[in-house]
Amino acid sequence: MLVDNWDDPEGYYRIILGEQLDGRYHVYANLGKGVFSAVVKARDSEDGDRDVAIKLIRNNDVMYKAGLKELSTLKKLAEADPDDKKHVVRLLRHFEHKNHLCLVFESLSMNLRDVLKKFGKDVGINIKAVRIYAQQLFLSLSLLKKCNILHSDIKPDNILVTENKSALKLCDLGSASDISENEITPYLVSRFYRAPEIMLGLTYDYALDIWSIGCTLYEMSTGKILFPGRSNNHMLRLIMDLKGKFPHKMLRRGQFTCEHFDDSLNFLQQETDKISGKDVVKTVTLIKPVKELKQRLLVGVNKLPEDEQWLMNQFVDLLDRMLHLSPERRLTVKEALTHPFISGSK
């Protein structure tokens, strides 16, 4: 192998199982690639063969810079949570390997997407488990807020679960930013978990992560994606089907509103004509909620034990508040942590 052939054409490090990184990490599994990096599992010979996950950032300037930003975000979060109580993944250390910035993390067994596939396919997991996970996610958000950080990519794939499934940790801070940055872009956050203010081009804040967690909790409970939109336009339609029309005040402030609504603020639905296959735009004047959360979540709830019935009703209330169309009216982290679903107070 040529010395300068460490990378594939996209700048990902070519991983060789069994190789040693930084003189101490023995790579034994390849966990796949993300936009920014390739991830491997390794054993740390300097720490009793402890399992670690190593993120090898792609070898180019943009990715390297993004990697450094993630590194400083992780350090800031760890300093603000010295006892590791706030459910954010721990960075152990970092090093450089053949022009790749490498971030070493504690190793957690699987992500929430895998857990849902394995244990809750199309049916979700028990509401009591959802409640424990929800509380831990809110604690992770409270730490982010304390550090003025938006995660901006919360979804089941970016939530890791411990071996015994009792605890989770928020991971992948590659898209995280300081609240002051607030760069308006219609594609921030993975589409199914993207808050409406992002798609409409409004300024955003901590409420965007609350929205993503709301979508994630629904998925935990049902095993189904809440808004499986094919595009931003389709996402907005699905959101209105659940929550009704957007407040006009909100639409008027959006930089991208004109892509989805006409001057009278009627929705411009983008569709593909079934016969011609051409893209067409249909003006939709009346949009009423078709199927509210109650109807989606409380089917057959009376067959459950009484305490779970109460929890399910509280869960619907919590989600309704987390998925408020107006970000300023959405539940805050502080309010979420004291909500009866989490606190258990009747």
Catalytic residue list: 153
| Residue positions forming the annotated binding site for ATP | 55
Half-sphere exposure of 115 (CA within 13 A, CB side): 30
DSSP string, 210-258: HHHHHHHHHHHHHSS-S---SSHHHHHHHHHHHH-PPPHHHHHH-TTGG
- The single residue listed with the structure tokens 């603020």 is 265
d(CA 207, CA 323): 9
Question: CA 290: distance to chain centroid?
Answer: 26
| Contact indicator for 231, 270 with CB cutoff of 8 Å | yes
Residue tagged 């957690």 (tokens): 108
Q: Which amino acid is at 297?
A: L
CB-based contacts of 61, cutoff 8 Å, min separation 6: none
Q: Are 340 and 214 in contact (CB under 8 A)?
A: no
d(CA 76, CA 73): 5
